[in-house]
A and B are shown apart, each in its own frame.
Chain A
């Protein structure tokens, strides 16, 4: 009888062990430079003795803030160049007129063999032709050349690029939504970049505005709690948090202030997921 009882207890112990024993593991995978990236174009940068390949995280290039990854190689040796000054020159040719757009040059040192920069396409290619000039200096010879590529820019279903003429100074501002790139239910990073047009060829980053956002689900008439207002973190980028309590169609209402003056409160970003 003792044996039975002990057997029973052993059974309970084993069952409890089985039920309770659970632990999760984290997976870590090594990144590969161009793995998972899509090649947009590539070619020779005349005069520099270099080739430039342009990569993007998406197969298509969309209006708005577009990150590019540049793989630079010596055209003769085929060796990957990891240190070189690079500048970007985006240009929209609309026949009658031309204009540039905001951009962020890569650092002169590559990360994981790639130089990362970005261009903010303020309109799609439907109105003209976008080209991107990548001006690169050979680190050894000092020769300079520019690889120019035509870029086909399409408008996404939900625009991530907004502009307004500010009520406080009459200047034209461009705002690109960077995050959330992959929205989810829960806390999402919220990141914007703000640029001011000073001429058709110059769109410097702007940090003079105070940015506020208010998420709303128009179909339901509700918002979401505990959002964090975007704050300027440098180069015109503003970072905060946006919370989505459910999936579906969300509208993020934007308010831009200059001091106490309202610069604009008409714009919003739509996000459906």
Chain B
């Protein structure tokens, strides 16, 4: 269901109607009481000391465990979560997927803000522009619940930014970290300072990373895998009134060079400027119906320049710049009616503009130029609602809904001319997506909880899927052409899980299935000739009638004899189309287990990562079978105090066996790091 519009008035009208309807409902309810957060996300707390008390599941402990290497990048941490797999193209800039749903099927948000990468080859997922030191936590919501912040069929990764903490006037505290690792001679320096005034506080962070080419398990240097980047942020929070705060955030990220061994080009320079202003208010009176509201305005500007000047034997120099600008506004309202009904409303509007081009410089000839993302914009207006109903002490219901209107436009005549070669549809497209899901949780025993949820989800195609112009995918070797006439991708999702939670023992298992209709994928069209030298052919985005993704995740955590703890996760996904073709990019069975011993100030931990072989592959997508592997890691830590300062020393060995391996979703079968020894020093002041 899509329609073409030449003008935006209809969208404007619709979105105003949404907003007015929301406003009325908010006003109607605006008269009751109480507090409590109710959206239960699987959330990962990155903050070192404070644990978010709201979150009781094992995810929490998992990350505590894996966060031992404090120099870990955000993608290192994400890759440890049971729901997440990473697509790897370089040593940095991995693309997260949730249960094998990738880029366009999931949302990657920063505090609810949309950030669109500026690279046509997905070398810059939004996670690359954020450092763990910017973040308080990461929330991963899957399939049928993950659409509240934006229509999606696969879920949402929402990174929560860290806030300045207001203590007492003149308080200064912070943290300095420095680290080094041997496998790529990487340096890591990070500084974080919080200053508190009477009714305000500021938090500043800066992180610098520089890494050389790393060495694989065969002691071979992996060329073009080095990177260098700096990230800096400033957040200022003012309490305007006791319950009313104004927060201004800025994050800057500059990568001077990031190597991508699996691609024919690297990133010469990439920058992100992310700014937002947030006004939020809490209502503490028990009589108020509205518990909390927050309004946020934001703007971000991403620039990305691909570069081949460091590659040998380049027949022809190529420039590939791209940029992305997004602005938007979000409103979140939390409400509570009586004791057992909680509501959350989210209304948001955003506009993203994208542009990317390619210029090749042949010798003694005119430069060759084209738009790879013909200038386009996407305007989105949506309304999400969550209703949490505590039916009884043992039974809870949750209803999630979301309605979006999404409109895409080609914004220049040049862009329309490009797209006209392949399609008559250059006047823009409009989609209305609706998502709904229901979840029941039943506590059939004080320690046991059974959860079932089912939902219907929809998403609009991405800019690349609609307007991509000869986007080269070096994994399957095809140039991809967009298709403006794509329909919505739709999915029926269901998952059920059992959780056991008793003081020292926790266990959970989740089984999920998604049935996708109009699954968007590239199909080879032999009538087109390739653009990229050496490409195997051209694929045009089209839709397969149906696809099915199913799988499970287990995790457990045990506290043994006081000082020992043991934690593990197991995940598996199976995916196929209705023609019995395996979907590409499906990670094999993976088991991560880790046992730790803590005594006084000393910590010791051994980890094992085991991945099964993957023989279920899609050859048309350029995949080949991947061998299984087992990795062992050892980590140690020692903590002591020095003049009111707390010092932490950490050291460890990763991939002790120096295993030569790559994961199934690593492009180009580029081997991963061999044995790595790391050391770091953390100073809390």
Contact = CB atoms under 8 A, between A and B. Distances in A.
Interface of A: 1-2, 4-6, 8-13, 15-17, 19-23, 184-187, 217, 219-226, 243, 245-249, 272-273
Contact of B527 (A22, A225, A243, A247): A225
Given A21-B8, A187-B421, A16 B368 contact: no
Contact of A220 (B11, B23, B368): B368
Contact of A16 (B9, B370, B381): B381
A259 B381 CA distance: 59
A63 to B, nearest CB: 21
B161 interface: no
B19 A222 contact: no
A217 B368 contact: yes
Given A9-B22, A12-B329, A247-B367, 14 more contacts: A1-B30, A2-B30, A5-B30, A9-B347, A10-B23, A13-B20, A16-B19, A19-B351, A187-B421, A222-B531, A224-B421, A245-B470, A248-B367, A249-B362
Contact of B414 (A9, A11, A185, A245): A185
A247 B297 contact: no
Contacts of A20: 8, 11-12, 15, 349, 351, 379, 381, 407
Interface in B330-387: 331, 333, 347-351, 358, 360, 362, 365-371, 379, 381
A246 B23 CA distance: 49
B417 A19 contact: no
Contacts of A9: 19-20, 22-23, 26, 331, 347
A5 B293 contact: yes
B329 A11 contact: yes
A14 B26 CA distance: 17
B1 interface: no
B26 A5 contact: yes
B7 interface: yes
Contacts of A249: 362, 365-366, 368
Contacts of B16: 13, 16-17
Nearest to B7: A23
Contact of A15 (B31, B290, B316, B349): B349
B290 A1 contact: yes
B417 A247 contact: no
B632 to A, nearest CB: 48
B677 to A, nearest CB: 46
A13 B12 CA distance: 10
B23 A6 contact: yes
Nearest to B423: A226
B366 A247 contact: yes
Contacts of B20: 9, 13
A11 B414 CA distance: 35
Contacts of B23: 5-6, 9-10, 13
Contacts of A22: 8
Interface string B230-259: 000000000000000000000000000000
Contacts of A6: 23, 26-27
A225 B368 contact: no
Nearest to B363: A219
Given A1-B288, A13-B16, A248-B362, A223 B529 contact: yes
A225 B8 contact: no
A10 B31 CA distance: 19
B528 interface: yes
Interface string B45-67: 00000000000000000000000
A17 B12 contact: yes
B501 to A, nearest CB: 37
Contacts of A1: 30, 283, 288, 290
A221 B417 contact: no
B418 to A, nearest CB: 6
A240 to B, nearest CB: 14
Contacts of A247: 366-370
Interface in B1-44: 7-9, 11-12, 15-16, 19-20, 22-23, 26-27, 30-31
Contacts of A220: 360, 368, 531, 533
Contacts of B631: none
A223 B526 CA distance: 12
Contacts of B295: 8, 11-12
A222 B27 CA distance: 61
B369 A248 contact: yes
Contacts of B304: none
A225 B414 contact: no
Nearest to A244: B421
A8 B369 contact: no
A272 to B, nearest CB: 5
A184 B9 CA distance: 31
Which 6 pairs show the lowest CB-CB distances between chains A and B?
A186-B417, A248-B368, A246-B370, A9-B23, A16-B349, A15-B329
Interface string B496-536: 00000000000000000000000000000001111101000
Interface string B256-283: 0000000000000000000000000101
Given A19-B350, A247-B370, A273-B366, A222 B421 contact: no
Nearest to B11: A20
A5 B414 contact: no
A269 B293 CA distance: 66
A212 B333 CA distance: 65
B78 interface: no
